[in-house]
Structure 1
Amino acid sequence: MKRIASIVAALPLAGVILLAGCASTADSDGYYTVRRGDTLYSIGRDFDQNPSNLVTWNRLRNPNDLEVGQRILVKPPTGIVARTGAGQSSRSASSAPARKATPAAKPAAKAAGKGDDDDAPAPADAKLDWIWPTQGKSAPSSDSYKKGIDIAGTDGQAVVAAAAGKVTYAGHGIRGYGNMVIIKHTPTLLSVYAHNKSIAVKEGQMVTRGQQIAAMGNSDTSSVKLYFEIRRNGKPVNVMALLPSR
């Protein structure tokens, strides 16, 4: 591994995230066990892999739905050359047959009496003073695998941080999201801003509520819009329950 991205302070995003001070490690077979707050973005950065490699190697149908306890292959299977991108280097292996990904482990059972409603805001969510990340008409995302909202607008329109936090991802390394920014707000909450024309912040940068972080565009999509999502413990929540009415 050439480098291990330190997303420690910013971590829990679902990919951009966690281990309060320790670097993520893989077992001897090249698998990493998903922890609370991990996302495909953060795992890819921790192991210097393009997230699209992780999707392919693990045959993930929906890269947004990782489960705690799930084992993710983070090293190229035998005979596979890793796709490069976002600072990652190509890796090659022998010509032996590729090994299959181990089935994901079942997540630990929830504590008795607790529900599984990820749409309902948690107490920590309510403490943040959220604002809309941009102006425009909003609607559920047109992409079935995305759980956030699309906000229509004009090319170059300002996109701002919906709450104060730390930028844990700023780039174009995830297919289907274009130029994307991810901000970590609390140990469990992060927000995602995708399809931007350009990005105005850098990874590791602290941003204030309402600070411009990008300009709206249509990268990796057919129309000018912002895809916006809020995640709690790596899972999307209902953003309309958190954003102020307008």
Structure 2
Amino acid sequence: MHLNHVSIFHSQKMIKTIVLSMAVATAAVVTGCASKPQVSGGASYAHAPNYYTVRSGDTLSRIANRYGMNYLDIAALNDIAPPYRIYVNQSLRLKGSAAQRTTSTQAMAQTAPIQRQSVNLPTQRPVTPPTQTVIPPTQRPVVPVVPVNPSSSTLASGLRWVKPSNGAIIQTFNLASNVKGTRYGGNVGDPVFAAANGQVVYAADGLKEYGNLVLVKHVDGYITAYAHNSKMLVKSGDNVTAGQKIAEMGSSGASRVMLEFQVRLDGKPVNPTTVLPN
């Protein structure tokens, strides 16, 4: 009887060990499945956030593969045109609908330098050199309508510039302080003017640090940026003239009401005072 009791005790101990091992193995399998959600086709993807900040080595394709998305969908959501360049620290929208966007292209577009784009700009009348024939007194030349903001300057290329805001300057261009343009103060709803003739290439809120952002492309490689607007009055593809009201001042993407005005030449920020009238 004593031997039978010992045998039964060892048998029960073995059964408990086997059951416990099976439970641990089952738990390991379940945990593995939970840590990597499966999608159709057997691939494993991370959960896509609303916004993604670009890191070194990222491409649209790599980001799309990471979250089980199509890189063309990400490009459409963020208004990124071929060849689909992205930049370190750029904020990309991963969720939403491209149909909800006001345009279909980076811009600043992007905190990195604005890239030149091939856009057909509206035909501009060349400035008449002093050596050309003077119009006889009997003829009245056609005088263009003076914009709301009349103060202007003209570069040698003939591009006429006006101030984008009537507000007081609160910060000036200073790359060392990461101020890539001129910042104007004012009140919500104050007018924001196009600084020169050109075409709108971006009008959206895809860059959180710039809020509602408008980009206008001009001749000779110039692009101007108007950030933190409360309201945008133009859309991508619109032709604008110097002095035209294109937005209203606000505080989107900023801690106070202001207009951040930037000028880019061949993708590099330049001091707006080099082109704007005094």
Sort the Cα spacing of 1:161 and 1:79 in 2 relative to 1 into closer, same or farther, 3 A: same
1:75 to 61, 82, 86: 61
Match of 2:168 in 1: 137
Q: Deviations over 1:181-223 (max 9, x none)?
A: 0000115111000000000001000011111100000001111
Q: Does 1:212 align with 2:245?
A: yes
Matches within 5 A, 1:50-129: 53=52, 55-58=53-56, 73-77=59-63, 78-80=65-67, 85-86=77-78, 127-129=158-160
Taking every aligned residue pair, what percent have the same amino acid on both sides?
A: 35
2:272, 2:220 → 1: CA distance?
A: 18
Q: Is the 8 A contact 1:81 1:90 kept in 2?
A: no
Which structure would you say has the larger Rg? 2
CA distance in 2, matches of 1:125, 1:150: 26
- One-letter code aligned to 1:176: E
Q: Partners in 2 of 1:153 and 1:203 — Cα distance?
A: 26
Q: For the structure 1 residues 238 and 126, does the alpha-carbon distance in structure 2 shift closer, same or farther, using more than 3 Å as the test?
A: farther
Contact 1:230 1:237 in 2 (8 A): yes
Which structure would you say has the larger RCO, counting Cα contacts within 8 Å and 6 or more residues apart?
1
1:240 aligns with 2:262: no
CA positional deviation for 1:127: 3.0
What's the TM-score, normalizing by structure 1? 0.54
Q: Structure 1 residue 57: deviation in Å?
A: 3.5
Q: CA, structure 1 residues 223+142, in 2 after alignment: closer, same or farther (shift >3 Å)?
A: farther
Q: Assess, with a 3 A threshold, how the Cα gap between structure 1 residues 158 and 209 changes in structure 2: closer, same or farther.
A: same
Structure 1 residue ranges (4+ consecutive) displaced by more than 6 angstroms after TM superposition: none
Separation in 2, partners of 1:231, 1:125 = 17
Q: Which runs of 5+ in 1 are unaligned?
A: 1-51, 60-71, 92-122
Map of 2:223 onto structure 1: 190
Asked if structure 1 preserves the Cα contact closer than 8 Å seen for 2:173 and 2:271, the reply is no
Q: Residue 199 in 1 paired to residue 232 in 2?
A: yes
Contact 2:173 2:272 (8 Å CA) reproduced: no
Separation in 2 of the partners of 1:222 and 1:178? Answer: 11
- Report how many aligned residue pairs link the two structures: 150
Deviation at residue 89 of structure 1 after TM alignment = 6.1
- Compare 123-132 and 220-229 and name the one that shifted more: 123-132
3-state SS in 2 of match to 1:57 = coil
Residue 134 (structure 2) aligns with: none
58 and 125 in structure 1: CA distance in 2 versus 1, 3 angstrom threshold: farther
**Residue 124 (structure 1) shift:** 6.9
3-state SS of paired residue (2:54): helix
Q: CA distance change for structure 1 residues 76 and 124 in 2, over 3 Å: closer, same or farther?
A: farther
Report the CA distance between 1:128 and its aligned residue. Answer: 1.5
Q: CA RMSD in A?
A: 3.0
Offset at residue 132 of structure 1 (A): 0.4
Deviations 1:14-54 (A, max 9, x none): xxxxxxxxxxxxxxxxxxxxxxxxxxxxxxxxxxxxxx75x
Alpha-carbon distance change, 165 to 219 in structure 1, aligned in 2, over 3 angstroms? same
Per-residue CA shift, 1:83-121, capped at 9, x if unaligned?
964577659xxxxxxxxxxxxxxxxxxxxxxxxxxxxxx
CA distance in 2, matches of 1:58, 1:208: 39
- Mapped to 2, the partners of 1:182 and 1:75 lie a distance apart of 26
More helix by share: 2
Is the counterpart of residue 177 in structure 1 residue 164 in structure 2?
A: no
State the SS of the aligned residue for 1:76.
helix
